[in-house]
Every structure is written in structure tokens, then in C-alpha cells.
Structure 1
Amino acid sequence: MTRLAIAISSGMKPLVRTVHGRTKRLVYLSNPEHEASIRSGESTPLGFPIEDVYEYDAEIFAEMEAAWRKGTPTLHRALRPLADVYREPR
């Protein structure tokens, strides 16, 4: 099953990303549009600081993206840190 997340990039821009794994400090993410290149080995997921990655919610993402486009980026109060909801399988 593909797990999506909201990652916060520089300038507080929200991004939808596919989760590939995590460590204590990093979550490995990729752009969902580039999954074929990840699977083929042409590209690899990037590590984002775990504190900048949140559980995906389409409605919250839409609100955050709209705010960012208006020049008023914000973290939505209902965001759930991915670290709280995603534990790496042992």
C-alpha cells in the first residue's frame, strides 16, 4: 500500500510525497509522479527531517496549498506529525 504524506519545504510550501521508509530522524520521500524512476533505480527517495513531515489529508493539504499560493503559508492546526502515526516495521 502506498503511503502519502505532506512534507513542508522551504518557504513553507506544502508538498504531497510518497513515503518509502523512515529512520529516527528522517523520512524518505519522493514525488508521486516519479514513482517509476524510483522503482527502476534511476532515482532514489530523499530524506526529509521527520519534524517536517505530516500525515496526508487531502482537505488539509488543499487548504495549506491555497494559503501558500496567497502568500500566507501556515501549518494547519489539525496536522498530525508522521512520526506519531507511522512506525517503521521491525
Structure 2
Amino acid sequence: TLVPKKIITTHNTIYDEQTYHPEPRVTSILSSHYKPEFIVNMKKTNKIMFVDYTDLKNLKMTEIETEHFLHDDEFDSTKHYFIITANQRGKIAMIDTKKKAD
């Protein structure tokens, strides 16, 4: 369905500046290959959110901190690692999605 099951705010502070950002953009939503979970990359907040959709009426969300300015992302060829680049910083973030699923 395209009808929202739950609406959450993305209001947050910009990582380095500690200034309020009223509406950080979601740059991507991908599905884990190992468990019923979406991986959500939120720009400018240095956060990635994991949304467990096992129970659609009670979505469970977990945030992890990452590098600032993340925007280009993809899975590696094995679908094991989720890789996000932070071009303005010359860094990448890599998440082991299989280990997280255990």
C-alpha cells in the first residue's frame, strides 16, 4: 500500500553546526536482504534509521550515528554491506547489514 502506516518527524539538528533543521531530507530508503527492515538515510543529521516492519502497526525504529553529508549509497555486490559516501568529507560509512540482522 502507498498509504502511510505511520508518520514520524525528521526534525533534528545539523551535526557539526548544532543548529536546528526543520526538515532534513530522506535521501534513500532501501530494504535489507537479511531481515524485514528498511534502511533510511537522512541527509544532514548524520543519522541512519533502521525500521523493522515485522509488525506494521508497531514499527520499531533504531537510529545510528554516521558521518555528516551522507548522500550516495548502495549495497556492495554481495548485498552484505550498505555503503554510503560523504563526498564533502572524503569519507564513507559502511554498515554490515548481515551482522546487524543476527
Flag whether TM exceeds 0.5 (same fold): no
User: Per chain length, whose mean CA-contact separation is higher, i.e. which structure has more relative contact order (CA < 8 Å, sep 6+)?
Assistant: 1
TM-score, normalised with respect to structure 2 = 0.31
TM-score, normalised with respect to structure 1 = 0.33
More strand by share: 2
